[in-house]
Amino acid sequence: MAAAESPSTALRRRDLCSRGIRLAGKMRADVVDLLDAYVEQQGLDASASVAAVEGVPLAAVERWDEQTGTQRLLENLAAYRAFRALLAQMLEEQREQLGEADVGLGRALAAVLLQVSAFAYHLEELLRLESRGIPGEEEEEDGPPPPPRLSLFEQKLRGLGVLRELAQWAVRSVRDLRQLTKPSPATGAAPGLAESP
Amino acid sequence: IQYERVGADVTMKCGSMDWDAAVTWTVNGTDIDESHLNGSYLVLKNVGLSQSGQYSCYEGSSWHLKYQTYLRVGTPPKEPVLMCRSNNYPKGFYCSWHLPTPTYINNTFNISVIHGTKDMVCERDAIPKNRCHIRYLQLFSTVKYKVTLTVTNALGKNFTTLTFDEFAIVKPDPPESVVAKPVPNNPRRLEVSWQNPSSWPDPESFPLKFFLRYRPLILDQWQHVELSDGTSHTITDAYAGKEYIIQVAAKDSDIGTWSDWSVAVHATPWTEEPKHLTTEAQITETTSASTSSFMAPPTTKICDKGAVVGSGAVAVCWTAGLVVAAYSVLFI
């Protein structure tokens, strides 16, 4: 039997969602600026199509409006954890490649990485609020073997794919969090979260 | 039906009749002058649109109908103009099209929409016929949509392609029911309210932000206010007594572009009821030349309270009264 949601939980969720929406909004603005700088600095064509890169979580989703609140939180969390690792890798590659030349780009990448980490933590808090177990992160030794080292050009294209997808996720996350704040007509709880264990 | 391009030279044979047979050609029932004949062939040089019609060829003596055709003069299609837009995000988008110049003959339009490798169906609207709409199967995709429109008629074909991503084409319809009202006892305020466009399906989950612009009719420069939420705003710096024109535009809070401006509304801030002293002032001005004794006219136009701001209003009125009195004395 699903328990009715306490007012304090509802308030806390609303508060977390509002702050999350602001975080995601700021993150998106910074990612868009970073994308422009990245394209310019790396000498890429902004309109270039980049094939889906392995390991980059796609923001594209079917039947988005039918997702439960828990699904939204779990998918978001998995995505931002993946972006955290991808951005860390990009930062390392950036430092190896260019040294002093792109200090600004490196700083911007680091700032976005920080926001992605913060947002991932924020999502964990929301999941904790729902008394949901937070899925553990994959240990390196248990994960798949690391992919073969890419050429410089392939690294740049992958970076473009990562940032583009992250920008989409930032928009999706805002929408997902807004859905979480909508009251469910039957229980008054947020949709899809008041589920029986 | 025979289709020919504008400016073409057209030769029509009278069926199986020999070149030297005696024939009569008509267009829409009217005989065609022999100067257009080469033997039994009808020759039309540099055809124009007005030469479209039903052409018939009759054997000279028997007046048997030997050949008939409907000539349609037109042009092959130029590259069509195609536009795609989502005014009902996240439900879907529509594409509409037209030809930049008419062809004067029937055209067939065919549209294809591809998302990545997937073909999507664009459902044609009954009215208007040059529009179709698509439901989004996926949201938040970085994969672009490619829309190709092909137009074909009997004289040729042409096409155009649009490529865009999901966010770029989001453009709501303008806000609806814009209302602007004066605020009682506030000569510099106007209260403006509006509603979300009815075509926007879920303003709660996909909230809109708004842009308001306003100016007095007598000035060209607009004032602008951007509002991140809410569907009302109070203008607090209106010029007293001046009629204003006000418009509102909308945009999704996160993506896409601004809507067109709403229908304009007009409003004038509240003003105090004008006193009836205007009539006395007019009489005083017209008779001042013949008046031996003079009384300073009560201040009206010069000292319209609505046009003067602040506590200096009273001092200005007295001063203006003295000036008028001085001038009046000069004319006696």
Select the more confidently predicted residue: A179 or A50. A179
Does the beta-carbon distance from A168 to B142 stay under 8 Å?
yes
Cα separation, B302 vs B327, in Å, equals 15
- Closest residue in A to B141 (Cα–Cα): A60
Mean per-residue pLDDT of chain B: 86
Which of the following CATH numbers is that of domain A14-46+71-132+154-183: 2.40.30.10, 1.20.1250.10, 2.30.30.700, 2.30.42.10?
1.20.1250.10
- Chain A positions touching B142 (Cβ under 8 A) are 58-60, 164-165, 168
| Residue B167 token pair | 């966010």
Q: What is the DSSP string of B282-320?
A: HHHHHHGGG-SS--PPPP-STT-GGGS-STTHHHHHHHH
User: pLDDT-based confidence at A184, cuts 50/70/90?
Assistant: low
Q: How many CB pairs under 8 A join A and B?
A: 45
pLDDT at A100: 54
Contact B142 A164 (CB under 8 A): yes
Q: In this structure, are B114 and B53 located in the same domain? A: no
pLDDT at A190: 53
Residue B74, Cβ density class (10 Å: 0-12 exposed, 13-18 middle, ≥19 buried): buried
Q: In chain B, what residues touch A165 (CB-CB under 8 Å)?
A: 142
Give A93-104 pLDDT, tens digit per residue: 887 776 555 678
Q: Judge if B184 and B232 occupy the same domain.
A: yes
Which pLDDT band, with edges at 50, 70 and 90, does A175 fall under? Answer: very high
Tell me: pLDDT of B245 over 80. Answer: yes
What residues of B are in contact with residue A60 (Cβ under 8 Å)? 138-143
Cα torsion A53, A58, A60, A66 to 10°: value is 150
DSSP conformational letter for B328: H
Across A51-77, average pLDDT? 91
Low-confidence winner among A51-60, B63-72, B187-196, B218-227 (lowest mean pLDDT) = A51-60
B205's tokens: 């989950």
Q: Which residues of B290-308 are buried (b: 16+ CB within 10 A; e: fewer)?
A: eeeeeebbebbebbbbbeb
Among the candidates B164, B199, B231, a domain finishes at B164
Residue in A59, A61, A182 nearest the CB of B204: A182
User: Is residue B9 within 8 Å of residue B44, measured between CB atoms?
Assistant: yes
Give the domain extent around B143: 81-164
Do B187 and B159 have their domain in common?
no
Considering the domain architecture, whether residues B119 and B61 belong to the same structural domain is answered as no
CATH code of residue B261:
2.60.40.10
Do both B100 and B53 map to the same domain? no
The alpha carbons of chain B give a radius of gyration, in whole angstroms, of 36
Residue ending a domain, among B164, B195, B214, is: B164
CA B71 to chain centre: 36
User: Nearest to residue B265, comparing CAs of B212, B218, B203?
Assistant: B212
pLDDT at A177: 95
Model pLDDT for residues A12-32, shown as the tens digit of each residue = 889 999 999 999 999 999 999
Number of domains in chain B: 3
**B205 — contact with chain A (CB < 8 Å)?**
yes
Say which DSSP state B207 is in. Answer: -
Same domain for B45 and B124 = no
Q: Which residues of A touch B137 (CB under 8 A)?
A: 62
- Is B131 contained in some domain? yes
B207 and B245: one domain?
Answer: yes
| Alpha-carbon gap, residue B139 to B90, rounded angstroms | 7
Are A59 and B206 an interchain contact pair (Cβ–Cβ within 8 Å)?
Answer: no
Name residue, tokens 């535009």.
B249
Ranking A73-77, A127-131, B36-40 by mean pLDDT, the lowest is A127-131
Q: Do B254 and A65 touch (CB under 8 A)?
A: no
Average pLDDT of B120-146?
92
* Cβ pair A62:B142 closer than 8 A: no
Whether residue B2 contacts residue B54, with contact meaning beta carbons closer than 8 Å, is answered with: no
Judge contact between A88 and A62, C-beta under 8 A: no
- Residue B322 parent element (H or E): helix B313-331
Which residues of chain B from 271 to 330 reach within 8 Å of chain A, CB to CB? none
Residue B62 confidence (pLDDT) = 85
- How buried is residue A54: exposed, middle or buried, by Cβ count under 10 Å (0-12/13-18/19+)? exposed
Among A144-153, B48-57, B132-141, name the one with the lowest average pLDDT: A144-153
Question: Are the beta carbons of A174 and B204 separated by less than 8 Å?
Answer: no
Q: Is residue B292 in some structural domain?
A: no
Asked whether the beta carbons of A116 and A24 are under 8 A apart, the reply is no
Q: Which residue has the tokens 């860390």?
A: A88
Q: Is the N-terminal amide bond of B90 cis, ω within 30° of 0?
A: yes
Whether B169 is in a domain gets the answer: no
pLDDT of amino acid B306? 38
> Angle at CA B243, nearest 5°, toward B276 and B197?
140
Enumerate residues 1 to 60 of chain B having a beta carbon within 8 A of any beta carbon in chain A. none
Q: pLDDT confidence of B290, banded at 50, 70, 90?
A: very low
Residue in A closest to B143 by C-alpha: A49
| Residues B68 and B90 placed together within one structural domain of the fold | no
Task: For residue B205, give the nearest of A49, A171, A179 by CB distance.
Answer: A179
A64 contacts B90? CB cut-off 8 A: yes
Statement to judge: residues B204 and B227 lie in one domain = yes
Residue B139 to residue A172, Cβ atoms within 8 A: yes
- Of the partner residues B137, B207, B255, the one whose CB lies closest to the CB of residue A62: B137
pLDDT at A145: 52
Nearest to B145 by CA among B153, B136, B156, B132: B136
Whether B328 has a pLDDT exceeding 80, the answer reads no
- The complex's ipTM? 0.85
DSSP collapsed to 3 states, chain A: CCCCCCHHHHHHHHHHHHHHHHHHHHHHHHHHHHHHHHHHHCCCCCCCCCCCCCCCCCCCEECHHHCCHHHHHHHHHHHHHHHHHHHHHHHHHHHHHHCCCCHHHHHHHHHHHHHHHHHHHHHHHHHHHCCCCCCCCCCCCCCCCCCCCCCHHHHHHHHHHHHHHHHHHHHHHHHHHHHHHCCCCCCCCCCCCCCCC
Q: Among A28, A61, A165, whose Cβ lies nearest the Cβ of B138? A: A61
A60·B142 Cβ contact <8 A: yes
Q: In chain A, what are the domain boundaries? A: 14-46+71-132+154-183
